[in-house]
Amino acid sequence: MVTFKKLKAFYWPYRKYFFWSLFFLIFVTSITLIYPIILQLTIDEVVAKNKYEMIPYIALVFLILQIIKGIATYYQQYLGDLFGITAVYDMRNALYKKLQVLSFKYYDNAKTGDLMSRLTADVEGFRFFLSFGMAELIRTVLLLVMSFALMFYYSVPLTLVTMVAMPFLIIVVYRFDKRVHPAFRGLRRSFGRLNTRVQENITGMNTVKSLSKEGYEIDRFSISNTNYKDSYLKTSNIWAKFFPLMEFIGNVSVVLLLAFGGYLVVNNRLELGALVAFFSLIWYIMGPIMNLGFVVNLFSQAKASGERLSEILDAKEDIIEKSTAIDVPIKGDVTFNHVSLDYANDHTYAIKDINFHAPAGKIIGLIGATGSGKSTITQLIARFYEQNEGNVLIDGRPIADYKLKTLRKHIGFVLQETFLFSTSIRDNIAYGRPDISEEQIIQAAKSAEAHDFIMKLPKGYDTLLGERGMGLSGGQKQRIAIARALCINPSILVLDDATSAVDMETEFRIQKALKNVMKNRTTFIIAHRISSVKHADEILVLEEGQIVERGTHKELLNHKGLYRRIYDIQYQDQHAIREIIDL
């Protein structure tokens, strides 16, 4: 029950629905147990004593009980569903909220498909037990206890005989739970991996088709699908082995009842009506016992689902906002003092001993090979990660002194991998500031060289985009992303290869437009093209997580180090392309 205790905060506030459902459940169960009593009275008091005039009254009582039971069953099921649905409503909100506050570090290791599986299949599995499984478990216990009590009333010896097989049944159910719970946990994991495989394939379909890897992907999916099938069959195999055994033990009790009960009736130690009622009661016990495996099954699924949900809720939040964090305007003066970051805490540093000062309003270029730490530096400014060593200061204060919302609303990002939502272009541009005016949206689009192509679309700014911006070119998506960043009017602007997907002419026009935009803003330009950073006030050249050169474009060219080598390679390539075009 540890898992259910950990998740108690979600369902316990709604316990009134559960207890009212429990009240009606007891009422329904009690009415159910009146049937054998009516049957016994009909045989022993009506048929045996020829009082047939009582039959209409007994039928009327039976009909009234059926109507009352139907009404009580409705409220019991409705309130049970209300209990489960309202509980997981809060749980879904808590899970989604948790996913919003977890840092980049968590998502570096998480799988999208697995997270989706947890927020859908696992939440639903837990809800089903709250709505139905828990009530079914209580109904089973109530029916067993009340049936045994009535059986003891009719005949103690016969009840004791029928209970001979019960200890064996308890052992079987216990062993069943011990084996089925790990099986269901493995089933949930394999389902999560299957979801991940599907999600990755659909997201990367362009890459799959461009490299003719359809067959390879089919084989990979087949492996995941086979693992899920095997996990499911393993669970089914456990169920198939234990359920007949439980049924067999229950049928042994029926045989003992018929043999010993018949003996008691023949010897006038038990009324025939009581034996018939006893036979009905044994099925009231047999049904719950045979259903016990199903209830344990639901419990095991809910327990496995709850464990997976708890893993998200208990995930460590790496970025913690101080209770004393402040909300003040940010000018954009950025300082790195001996900053190092080790993602895995295994002394494999993404950046090592980074030192620089970016005065407010200056442009800083970051250049270097892939994996040299360029993006990591800008991610630390926004506290997407927490540095292991050193201090990152903004306006002379450690970034941890600012409220996260304050810090990030003053930093505009245009990332290398552009993400657009499946909504209108207007909503995408205004995503960071929903209250922004139409004029400001258009101005941001013009600054990003996006207005002209937007106006050529069928519905202009009201054009709806497909998933991840499908329908637009890479350059068009990046220009919308630039406009989105400009809308928040950031003090610090980060352009992470923001013009990598546009042609040279468009890049020139964007950079020309951005010159006015970058005035009075601290701007970090991450680029592979020297043409994107050569106008920066200072350029930082990174290699293997360290700054190996720094200076202006002219100073670095004269230094004849790594920057000069990158410059020579890029411009030699351009000269070669021009010669080919001339030919």
CATH of residue 269's domain is 1.20.1560.10
Query: In this predicted model, which residue has the larger pLDDT, 265 or 488?
Result: 488
Q: What is the C-alpha separation between 221 and 200, in angstroms, rounded? A: 11
Asked whether residue 192 is assigned to any structural domain, the reply reads: yes
> Cβ neighbours of residue 374 under 8 Å, at least 6 residues apart?
366, 367, 368, 496, 526, 542
> One-letter amino acid identity for 506?
T
Contact 510, 452 (CB under 8 A): no
Query: In this predicted model, which residue has the larger pLDDT, 222 or 44?
Result: 222
What percentage of the chain's residues is helix, strand, coil (to nearest 5)? 65, 10, 20
CA-closest candidate to residue 481, choices 560, 417, 567: 417
Check residue 520 and give left, alpha or beta (phi > 0: left; psi -120 to 50: alpha): left
Q: Residue 467 has what pLDDT? A: 62
Instruction: For residue 295, give both structure tokens.
Output: 């209830």
Number of H helices, E strands in the chain: 23, 10
For the ranges 18-22, 31-35, 118-122, 192-196, the lowest mean pLDDT is seen at 192-196
Average pLDDT over the chain reads 83
> One-letter amino acid identity for 541?
V
Q: Residue 507 has what pLDDT? A: 67
Contact 54, 45 (CB under 8 A): yes
Res 131 pLDDT > 60: yes
Pairing verdict, β 397-398 and 389-394? antiparallel
Q: Residue 210 has what pLDDT? A: 59
Res 166 pLDDT > 90: no
Instruction: For residue 404, give both structure tokens.
Output: 């996260």
Q: Residue 203 has what pLDDT? A: 67
pLDDT band, residue 581 (cuts 50/70/90): very low
Q: Residue 338 has what pLDDT? A: 93
Q: Residue 206 has what pLDDT? A: 60
Asked whether residue 477 is assigned to any structural domain, the reply reads: no
Rounded mean pLDDT, 173-198: 77
Contact 526, 497 (CB under 8 A): yes
CA-closest candidate to residue 77, choices 13, 141, 135: 135
Expressed as residue numbers, the domain containing 233 is 2-313
Rounded mean pLDDT, 175-188: 77
Taken in order 555, 556, 560, 565, the sign of the CA dihedral is negative
Res 349 pLDDT > 70: yes
Contact 231, 183 (CB under 8 A): yes
* Per-residue pLDDT reduced to its tens digit, 439-464: 999 988 888 888 888 898 888 899 88
Res 115 pLDDT > 90: no
pLDDT band, residue 133 (cuts 50/70/90): confident
Asked whether residue 541 is assigned to any structural domain, the reply reads: no
Res 388 pLDDT > 70: yes
Asked whether residue 126 is assigned to any structural domain, the reply reads: yes
Query: In this predicted model, which residue has the larger pLDDT, 467 or 392?
Result: 392
Asked whether residue 305 is assigned to any structural domain, the reply reads: yes
Res 580 pLDDT > 50: no
Rounded mean pLDDT, 219-227: 85
For the ranges 235-249, 255-269, 503-517, the lowest mean pLDDT is seen at 503-517
pLDDT band, residue 577 (cuts 50/70/90): very low
Enclosing H/E stretch for 105: helix 104-109
Q: What is the SS3 assignment for 270? A: coil
Q: Residue 469 has what pLDDT? A: 59
Cβ atoms < 10 Å from Cβ of 475: 20
Q: What is the C-alpha separation between 542 and 562, in angstroms, rounded? A: 9
Taken in order 194, 197, 202, 208, the sign of the CA dihedral is negative
Q: What is the C-alpha separation between 461 and 444, in angstroms, rounded? A: 12
* Per-residue pLDDT reduced to its tens digit, 103-112: 788 887 777 7
Asked whether residue 106 is assigned to any structural domain, the reply reads: yes
> Cβ neighbours of residue 254 under 8 Å, at least 6 residues apart?
282, 286
Query: In this predicted model, which residue has the larger pLDDT, 267 or 113?
Result: 267
For the ranges 342-346, 350-354, 516-520, 575-579, the lowest mean pLDDT is seen at 575-579
Asked whether residue 478 is assigned to any structural domain, the reply reads: no
Rounded mean pLDDT, 537-561: 91
Instruction: Give the count of domains, the chain.
Output: 1
Share of the chain above pLDDT 70, in %: 91
Res 394 pLDDT > 90: yes
Asked whether residue 514 is assigned to any structural domain, the reply reads: no
Share of the chain above pLDDT 90, in %: 18
